[in-house]
Structure 1
Amino acid sequence: MLRRFVMITLCAAALALMLAACVATPTPVTVIEKETVVVKETVEVVKEVTKEVTKEVVVTPTPVTMRPQVLRWSIEGINELVSIDPPKASDSQGILAVNMLFAGLVRLDGELRVTPDGATSWTVSPDGLTYTFKLRSGLAFSDGTPATADDVVFSLTRALNPATGGWTGPFYLSNIVGSDDVTSGASSTLTGVKAVDASTVEIKIKQPSAFFLKQLTFAGGFIVPEAKVTANPANWTDSPIGTGPFKLKEWKHNQALILEPNPYYWNGPIQVTELQMPFFQDSETAFQLYRTGGLDIMGSQQNGVPAARLAEVSDLPDFRAASSFAVRYIGFNNMLPPFDNVKVRQAFARAIDKQALATKVLGGSVRPSDRILPGGLPGSELPIKGLTFDAAAAKQLLADAGFANGKGLPPIAFSYGVEGDNERVVTFLQEQWKQNLGVQITLEPLELATFSERLNTTYQHPEQGIQMYFSIWGADYPDPQNFISQQLRTDVGNNNGHWSNAAFDKLVDEADVIVGNDSKRMTLYNQAEQLAVDEVGWLPLFNPTLNVLMRPYVSGFVFTGQGITVPDWSAVRGKTQ
C-alpha cells in the first residue's frame, strides 16, 4: 500500500517552523469465514447435529512509523531476477528478493536456529514422522487476506508440482509422504500434508529427519496465496502478495525492485518505509555507487566487495565481514572423457596452488580449502585429508592415466559464469594446469542464466553437457546434508557432474535418517565427504568471505555463515528522510 505523507503546519508561534509527517493508516480488513462445528441438541434423545457457523475475523494492520526511512541495498551479479515466485527462484539473488516478500511456517533466527514464523508452534510425533503446526493468529498476506492452512497445503503441493517449473520443492520437500506422486505427475494431491482446520497443518514425512524443519525455512516451503495464484497462474507475481515483511511497490525490470512494508506482517511494524534493491551485473559498479553515497548496503552472501577493493575499505567502520557457508569449487562431467578417469581428476586437483590463489589472486579475501564443508558448518570440526598441491604428484597421476604431459587429452573447455572475480580465478587456474601439467584448456565465459541452463543440460543430458566448470554452492540451510547428500549422492538433482560411489551413497543414506544422535550423523557425513574428496566428486578451492559495506546508521542485521540475517525486521533502521 502506497504511503501518503501529509505535511501539517503547526500554528503555534513557538512551533511555527516545525513539520510533522503523518502516515495514512491502512484500513482493517474484515473477512467472513465459515466453519463447520458439531453441537448436541436435546430432543427425545441426545443427537449430534452439524451446523455451519459464520464468524467475522478482523485482520488489523500494524501501525507504522511517523517518519520515512529508506534502505538502499544492492543485488550484485545480475541484470534481472529470474523469478520472485518462491519455488522458482533459482539463485542467491532471487532467493534474497523472495525472502523480502514471502515467508514460511518457520525461519532461522540470528543464531541459525529454527524459530516460529507463520506457525507460532509445532509438535512432533514420538516416531518423528508427523509434524503438526499451529498457524499464528491473524496471519495474513500483504493485502490483508488471511493466510490459512489451505494455503499451506496448496503451497507445498505447488512447489513439488513439475508444472510449476521450480527445483527447490522436489529437492527439499521430497521427504513428505506423497511427494513422489506429485513430482512424477501421477497425482495432484500431496497426501502427506493436511489442513486439520483453518489454523492447523499436519505434515507427514517418509523417514525421520534431523534437518526437515531447516528445509522448511527455504523458499520452496514458503506460503503463497492459493486464490491469487490459481486465478492468474502465469502472471500472479506481477502483483504478488506474501506473508513476508515487505510487499512489491514496483519491479523495474532489468533495473531494480522497489519494496514497501507489509502492513499486515505479524512481526511489524516495519520502520523502513521503502526498500530499494537495484541490480548490478558487476560488483565494481555497485562498489562505486556505494562510495558516492548511492547505497546503504553493498553485498550479500555470494557477492560483495570486490577483492581488489578490500585493502581500501577493510579499516572503515562501514566494512563487515564473516566466514560464509559456501564453497567455490570445480565440477567435472564424469560421463565425458577425460574426466571419467579418476586419476585425471586427481591430477587436476593436485596441480593447483590454492594458497597462491587465495593470497595473490584474491588478496586474502577467501580461505583456501581442500574439503567440501565450509568452516563453521556442523560437521566441519571433523578432519578431512585433502588432495594438497603437489605438482610432481599431479604430473605422475596424469601419466598414470595415460596422458603424460597432457599428450592424448581431448580438447578441454572450462565453463564459468561471468560475475565478480570469476575471470581472475579461472585465468589463474588455466595457467596452473598449463604450467604444472602441460595441459592447455580453453575458457568458456557465460552469462549466469546461460551458465545455469548449461548445468541443467549437463545433468539431464551429460553427453551434451559441459566438461568442467567453476561454480559455487552456498548453504540453503545450515546442515551438512545440504552439502553432502544433496549434492553428490548418485543421481540427486544437484549432482550435475554425475559422480557416483556406492559406499558414499550408503553412508549418506544412513546419516540422513539419524535423529537425536548428531555425533554419529556427523561422523557418517565426514566419512562420505572423505570419499568424495579422494575421488574428486567436487574439487573444492576456497570458502568465500561475506564482505559487505553497510552505513553506520543501518541497524538490525546479523552477519552469519548463512549470509545477512534479519532476526527482527521491526528493529531494522535505514536512513531517515
Structure 2
Amino acid sequence: MTRHHAHRGDRSRTLHAVSRSTRLIALGATAALLLSACAPTGDAEPSSSGAGAKRGGTIHMLQQSDFSYLDPARGWDTGVAQIYRLLYRGLTTQAAGDSDDPSSVVPDLATDLGTVSDDGLTWTYTLKDGLAFDDGTPITSAEVKFGISRAWDPQIGIGSPYLVKTIAAPDDYQGPYVSGELDAIETPDAKTIVFHLKKPFPEFDAVLAQPNGAPFPVGSGGGEEFLKKVIASGPYTLEEYTPGTRIELKRNPNWQAETDDVRKAYPDEWVFDLGLDPATIDERLIADQGADVNSIASGITKASLPRLTDPKLKKRLLSAEGVCTSYMSMNTAEGPFADVRLRQAVNWALDREMIVNAIGGPQMTKAVTTIVPASINGHLDYDLYPGPDADKAKQLLAEADHPDGFTFTLDIASADATKDRAIAIQESLSKVGIDVELNVIDTSIFYETVQTPANAHDAALASWCPDWSSSASTFIPPLFSSSAITEKGNQNLAQFSDPAIDRRIEEVAAMTDIAEANKAWGELDKLIMEKAPWAPLTVGKGLFLPGSNVANFTPSTDLLDLSVMGLKDPQKGN
C-alpha cells in the first residue's frame, strides 16, 4: 500500500491491525492455552459459533492468571487487550471480530480515519458527538490528548511504543505529570485533535488503535491510581476487582451505542474467574453445566484433546489460524549469548519438531525459522539453520571455546504449555552439551520481569504478535532496534544492538511505499537471523470450546473480541 496522503471518509485502506496489544503474549493465562491446543480430527469449524446473541445476562471468562495491568498505558499483551476492548475506546480501533475484515483499522471515537497533510507530518481527527466517560464527564479533544500523553511517563508508559516513536515530542518530555502539556498534539477546539509527527508514518491510524491511545480525564491516573481502578470510555466499567481471583464488569450507563460501530455489548455483565487450573477450565467447558453454558476461555489444553472427538463437543469446537511467533530470545548484551557463535549453535541444535510435538503436534502448531510469520506482509521464507544439526552446533561450540557445551538460564512463564515447550528445548540442547536451567516466573508478572533488563537472565521464552498485518513494521523495529532497549518495558528482549541493523531499520521505516518496505523487511529479517539474537520456534493455532449458550464467539489467536459476544438465551445459566 502506498499512501502519501489520505482524505477523510476513505474507508477502503488496506491497513490492518492484527493485534492491539503487545504484542508479546504470555504463553499461559489467556494465551498459552490456545498455543498448546491440538485438533483431534481437523473438523473444528473455522468460523464463529453463530449469530443470535441477545441483550442481557452474564458471560464468564475462565482463565489461569490475572491480567497484567488494567491501565492501558502499561499493558500491551494479547490477554489484557481482550478486557481493554470492553473498558476503553480510542480515536481508531481494530474492526469487530465478526466483521468482514476483522484485522482492519476503523474509526472509533473519531468520525473517520485521519486526514493527513501532503508532507505526511500532520494528522487531524474529529471526535463524534455524545462521547462520555463512565461518570458522565464528556470526552473532548483535551481528554484524548491527555490520555495519549501518558505514554511518555517513565513509570507508567511501559506499554505500546508507537506513540512515542512517531509523535514529535521533545526528547526530554516525560508525560503530563512531570512535563505538562505536549505541544506536538494540538486541540484547536473540543472536537478536533491534531498530531505532529517526527517523520511521515503512513500507518498512523493503526498507532492510535493501540491500547495507550485511550482518553482519560485531565490530571487523572498518576502513580498507581489505575492499577486497581479504571475510568472507562467503553461499554463496560469496573464493578469489582480482587487481584488474582475475580474481575466483574457492569454496563457503563454513559456509553451510547449509536456512537460505537464496533462493540455490540450484549451481556449486562462480564465476570473473569481468575486463578483456575487449566484442567479445571477444560472440565467446566466440556461439562457445560449450570453457569458454564455461558462460559468461555482462551483455549483448550492438549490433555483434553482425546475427549473432543465426542460428536456433541465437536458441534461446539471452533478453531483459528495462528499469527503469533513463539521464540527464545538470547541476551546479546552479556553472558554466554554475547558470543554470536553460541547463539548460532543453539539455533543449529534446536529440534523444533520435538517442540511442536511437546505442545500438541502438527495439527495445531508448526515449526518456523523466520522472525516474521507467513501471515504478515513482509514475510520472507528462508531457513538459515536447517536442523537439528548436532555437528554444526558442536563445531561452533568448539570455536567459541566451549567444546563441552555451556549452561544458561531460561526465563519462562509458569503456564503448563510454556513448561512443556521449555522442557523440549532442554532435551534438544542437552544433546550437544548445552544445559538449560529454568527460571519459572508467575505468568501475571512474566513480562514485567523480563522486560526489565536488570531482572532478566540469559534467555527468555516469549511470543510476539503483530500490531497490524499490512507490514512487518511492528515486528522488526520494536524487537531489534537498539532504540527499543529500555530500563522498563523493554521489548527488545535480546538487547540486540547493531549499528548497521539500526540504520537499515530507520531506512525501511521511512519508506512510504509499503510494498517496497515489506520486501526490505523480509530481507532484513534474514540479515538479523544471521546474527541469531532469537531462535524462532513455532506459530500455533487456537482451539476453543465456548459454552453452548454463547453466541457470536469468533475464534482468534490474535484478539478474541469479547465485545461482539452475547448469549442466545440471557435467562439461561444466570
Same fold (TM over 0.5): yes
Counterpart pick for 1:244 among 210, 234, 244? 234
Of residues 417, 425, 429, the one that matches 2:425 is: 429
**Corresponding position: 1:512 with 2:509:** yes
Cα offset, 1:317, TM superposition: 2.2
**Whole-angstrom CA distance in 1 between matches of 2:228 and 2:178:** 30
**What is the SS of the residue equivalent to 1:249?**
strand
Contact 2:359 2:417 in 1 (8 A): no
Matches within 5 A, 1:175-254: 175-178=166-169, 180-183=171-174, 187-226=179-218, 229=220, 234-235=224-225, 238-254=228-244
Aligned partner of residue 412 in structure 1, secondary structure: strand
* Aligned residue runs from structure 1 range 474-513, under 5 A: 474-478=465-469, 479-493=471-485, 494-513=491-510
Whichever residue aligns with residue 400 of structure 1, its letter is E
Distance 1:391 1:218, change over 3 A: same
Displacement, 1:279? 1.4
Return closer, same or farther for 1:354/1:238 CA change in 2, 3 Å cut-off: closer
Alignment partner of 1:256 is 2:256: no
Q: Does the C-alpha gap of structure 1 residues 95 and 68 become closer, same or farther in structure 2, counting only changes over 3 Å?
A: closer
Q: Per-residue CA shift, 1:403-434, capped at 9, x if unaligned? A: 2232xx3x422221111311111111111111
- Over 3 Å counting, the alpha-carbon distance change for 1:67 and 1:203 in structure 2 is closer
Percentage of identical aligned residues = 24
Counting strand residues as a fraction of each chain, which structure ranks higher? 1
Contact 1:215–1:477 under 8 Å retained in 2: no
CA shift for structure 1 position 491: 3.8
The question of 1:93 aligning with 2:76 is answered no
Structure-2 residue corresponding to 1:313? 308
- RMSD (CA atoms): 2.6
Question: Does the aligned pair in 1 maintain the 2:348–2:393 contact within 8 Å?
Answer: yes
Residue identity opposite 1:73 in structure 2: M
Aligned-pair CA distance for 1:467 = 1.0
Instruction: Show the counterpart of 1:37.
Output: none
Aligned-residue offset at 1:183: 3.2
Gap change, CA 1:173 and 1:312, over 3 Å in 2: farther
The partner residue of 1:279 within 269, 274, 286 is 274
Q: 1:489 to 1:546 in 2, by over 3 A?
A: same
Matched, 1:73 2:38: no
Asked whether the 8 Å contact 2:358–2:420 carries over to 1, the reply is no
1:116 aligns with one of 107, 110, 116: 107
Indicate how the Cα distance of structure 1 residues 310 and 156 shifts in structure 2: closer, same or farther if over 3 A, else same.
same
Letter in 1 for 2:400: A
Which residue of the partner structure matches residue 446 of structure 1?
A: 441
Deviation of 1:307 after TM superposition, in Å, equals: 2.3
Q: Which residue of 2 aligns with 1:143?
A: 135
Q: CA deviation at 1:482?
A: 1.5
Q: Deviations over 1:457-483 (max 9, x none)?
A: 32xx4xx74012211222334342111
Separation in structure 2 between the aligned mates of residue 425 and residue 134 of structure 1, nearest angstrom: 47
Maintained 8 Å contact 1:387/1:534? no
Cα pair 1:325 1:475 within 8 Å, conserved: yes
CA contact (8 A) 2:59 2:566 kept: no
Q: Give the 3-state SS of the residue equivalent to 2:165 in structure 1.
A: coil
Match of residue 349, structure 2, among 342, 346, 351: 351
CA distance in 2, matches of 1:552, 1:281: 20
How far is 1:89 from its partner? Answer: 2.1
Whole-angstrom CA distance in 2 between matches of 1:536 and 1:281? 37
User: Would the aligned equivalents of 1:511 and 1:521 in 2 still touch at CA under 8 Å?
Assistant: yes
88-97 vs 486-495, greater mean Cα deviation: 88-97
Alignment of structure 1 residues 445-464 onto 2, 5 Å: 445-449=440-444, 451-458=446-453, 461=454
Change (3 A) 1:574 1:398: farther
Q: Which amino acid aligns with 2:398?
A: A
Q: CA deviation at 1:169?
A: 5.2
> 1:331 touches 1:470 (CA, 8 Å); kept in 2?
yes
Alignment-mate amino acid for residue 520 of structure 1: E
Instruction: Assess if the C-alpha contact under 8 Å between 2:244 and 2:275 holds in 1.
Output: no
TM value normalised by structure 1: 0.79
1:252 deviates by 2.9
TM-score (norm 2): 0.80
* DSSP-derived class of the 2:416 partner: coil
Taking the TM superposition and a 5 Å limit, the aligned residue runs for 1:100-111 are 100-109=86-95, 110=99, 111=101
2 CA distance for matches of 1:510 and 1:177? 18
Which region of structure 1 is more displaced relative to structure 2, 466-475 or 182-191? 182-191
**1:292–1:520 CA distance, 2 compared to 1 (3 A):** same
The verdict on how the C-alpha distance between 1:475 and 1:256 changes in structure 2, with shifts beyond 3 A counting, is farther
One-letter amino acid of the counterpart of residue 385, structure 1: D
Letter in 2 for 1:576: P
Deviation at 1:199, TM superposition (A): 0.9
Aligned to 2:124: 132
Task: After superposing the two structures, state which structure 1 stretch, 393-402 or 342-351, moved more.
Answer: 393-402
TM superposition shift of 1:238: 4.9
Check the 8 A contact 1:161/1:188 in 2, yes or no: no
CA distance in 1, matches of 2:239, 2:295: 20
Q: Structure 2: which amino acid aligns with 1:388? A: P
Q: Equivalents in 2 of 1:66, 1:346: separation in Å?
A: 55
Q: Measure how far apart 1:318 and its partner are.
A: 1.9
Q: Is 2:70 the counterpart of 1:84?
A: yes
Name 1:378's counterpart in structure 2: 377
Cα contact 1:475–1:482 (8 A) shared by 2:
yes
Highest Rg: 1 or 2?
Answer: 1
Q: Is the 8 A contact 1:148 1:198 kept in 2?
A: yes
In 2 relative to 1, CA 143–457 (structure 1 residues): closer, same or farther, beyond 3 Å?
closer
Q: 1:279-312, CA deviations, whole angstroms, 9 ceiling, x for partnerless residues? A: 1354333222222335445433xxx211232343
Aligned twin of 1:54: none
Aligned partners of 2:281, 2:171: CA distance in 1, in Å? 43
1:400 alignment counterpart: 399
Residue deviations 1:119-170 (CA, integer Å, cap 9, x gap): 112311111111111101111122322111110111111222225x231254
CA distance in 2, matches of 1:66, 1:552: 14
Structure 2 contact 285–547 (Cα < 8 Å) conserved: no
- Cα distance in 1 for partners of 2:330, 2:468 equals 25
Note closer, same or farther for the CA distance 1:66–1:211 as it changes in structure 2 (3 Å cut). Answer: closer
Question: Larger relative CO (CA 8 A, sep 6+): 1 or 2?
Answer: 2
How many residue pairs get matched? 493
Query: Which letter maps to 1:198?
Result: A
Q: CA deviation at 1:499?
A: 1.6
Verify the 8 A CA contact 1:307 1:363 in the aligned structure 2. Answer: no
| Inter-partner Cα distance in structure 2 for 1:67 and 1:322 | 26
Question: Do the aligned residues in 1 keep the contact of 2:187 with 2:193 (CA within 8 Å)?
Answer: yes
Distance 1:317 1:428 in 2: 33
